[in-house]
Amino acid sequence: MKYLHLIWAALFRRKARTILTLVSIMAAFLLFGMLDAVRTSFNQAGQSANGAQRLQTGSKLSFIQTLPQSLESQIAQVPGVKLVTYANWFGGAYQDPHNQVFSFAVEPNYIDLYPEIEVSPAERKAFDDTRTGVLVGETLAKRFGWKVGDKIPLQSTIFPNRQGSKNWTFDVMGIMHSKDKKAGGFYDQLLLLHWKYFDETTPFNRGTVGWYVTRVTDVNQADRVAKAIDAISANSDHETRTQTEQAATASWMKQLADIGLIVGSIMGAVFFTLLLLSGNTMMQAVRERTSELAVLKTIGFSNHAVLGIVLAESVLLLLLGGVIGLGLASLIIPAVSANSGGMLNLPSVGASSWALGLVLMIVIGLLVGALPALRAMRLNIVDALAGR
């Protein structure tokens, strides 16, 4: 630590070069921060404590196949089941088919299974009492400027109503807030309508439900409960497949894209380039300072101390650039999310990304510093001072 001043002075000996290198390092870690946020959001989707308690039961055949509504009472009787609800995919869009809205037609107790969604008791009651009522997520409401009491037209991209028209009208009865802003972004974009109203209005549903959600009393029993639920309809014409919410979400994300591979390859290319770039800077820095390093040795710095000073310099260079870059990423990501009008919902740079980033900075710093530092350590005082 007592050499910090010395290292700092050495680092900024040539301001222009150091700053140019810092900007490159910054760009690399800015990219790292953003890509790692994407990767984390893919990996962590559905992995909340509440999510672990919920099971999703869908048709074994495929997710588009519906299940009979009569299954609800049978699932409710499975030991270990605390609550059960069901929902249908509504496929809503506002004004333009491209403005897709995550909209589910649900049984009124749906919200009871999702304690991470907050709705004021008055609004909840109003929703329960209104046949055409809907609950709207906070972000979604902001995106389209909806307020409680508004009548909103929605198109369904799947279900026409009895008149054959795709236009449905709903009354906004309440706003849903997610308790955990970081993990629960999805609920803020959700729209919930009454399954009953939905089923009565479209001729295409006929009393079926898309999927069941079950809350178990004990997380450790989840596997047993899942098997018991699937056993109810085994060998019938509507066999089911029950998974924890975590497993179901992870499987979707995996099918969407192999994010780990994409992010890994990009970062591989970026860090390889960075290694070369900052390595070049450090080499130049040490070459220029050959005589200064010789003077250090002359006045009594040991070989190892010189090695340490050069290594520390390169680690400091990487840390400076990297921390600024990651810091920028954590500033930019929320801004991007906010400006995308709810289209993108990225978590900010999390603790794990910071930890991984810091480790990378130190490792790259050591790698980059290794050669110049060894060179500095092996410096022969007489030769160096003579300029040989």
- Does position 54 interact with other proteins (CB under 8 A)? The reply is no
CB of 144 to other proteins, least distance (A): 19
Binding residue (CB under 8 A) for other proteins from 49, 76, 231, 276: 276
Backbone angles phi, psi at 355, to 5 degrees: -60, -50
Range list of H helices, the chain: 4-11, 15-44, 49-52, 71-76, 121-129, 138-144, 195-201, 222-232, 245-256, 259-288, 290-298, 303-339, 351-378, 381-386
Q: How far is the CB of 3 from other proteins (least distance, A)?
A: 26
DSSP letter string, 299-356: TT--HHHHHHHHHHHHHHHHHHHHHHHHHHHHHHHHHHHHHTTTS-------HHHHHH
Task: Identify any residues that bridge with 241 across adjacent strands, giving them in sequence order.
Answer: 58
3/318 Cα distance (integer angstroms): 18
Using DSSP bridges, classify how beta strands 240-244 and 54-59 pair: parallel, antiparallel or unpaired.
antiparallel
In whole angstroms, the minimum distance from the beta carbon of 209 to other proteins comes to 15
Which span sits near other proteins by CB under 8 A: 140-148, 189-197, 231-239, 312-320? 231-239
12 binds other proteins (CB under 8 A): no
Taking the C-alpha atoms of residue 64 and residue 209, their distance in angstroms, rounded to an integer, is 10
Which of 260-268's residues contact partners 24+ apart within 8 Å by CB, and which partners? 260/39, 260/42, 260/43, 263/35, 263/36, 263/38, 263/39, 266/31, 266/35, 267/31, 267/32, 267/35
Query: In terms of CB distance, is 127 or 159 closer to other proteins?
Result: 159
Stretch that binds other proteins, among 107-115, 158-166, 177-185, 312-320 (CB under 8 A): 158-166
In the complex, what is the shortest distance from the CB of residue 304 to other proteins, in angstroms, rounded to a whole number? 26
Question: Is residue 256 a contact point for other proteins (CB under 8 A)?
Answer: yes
Question: Binding of other proteins at residue 27 (CB under 8 A)?
Answer: yes
Work out whether 28 is an interface residue with other proteins (CB under 8 A).
Answer: yes
* Nearest partner of 96 among 151, 161, 164, 143, judged by Cα: 143
Interface with other proteins includes 299 (CB under 8 A)? no
Closer CB to other proteins, 247 or 295, in the complex: 247
What is the smallest separation between the CB atom of 281 and other proteins, expressed in angstroms?
7
Nearer to other proteins (CB atom), residue 214 or residue 240: 240
Decide if 172 contacts 134 (C-beta within 8 A).
yes
Query: Should residue 296 be labelled a site residue for other proteins when binding is judged by CB under 8 A?
Result: no
Q: Which is nearer to other proteins, 73 or 235 (CB)?
A: 235
- The DSSP output letter for 102 is E
Question: In angstroms, what is the minimal distance from the CB of 158 to other proteins?
Answer: 4
Say how many residues touch other proteins, by CB under 8 A: 61
Q: Are 232 and 75 in contact (CB under 8 A)?
A: yes
Q: Which is nearer to other proteins, 28 or 316 (CB)?
A: 28
Mask for 105-134, x = binds other proteins (CB under 8 A): ------------------------------
3-state secondary structure of 253: helix
Which residues are near other proteins by CB under 8 A?
Answer: 16-17, 20-21, 23-28, 30-31, 34-35, 59-65, 91, 93, 97-98, 155-158, 160, 164-166, 204, 235-239, 241, 247, 251-252, 254-258, 265-266, 269-270, 272-274, 276-277, 280-281, 283-284
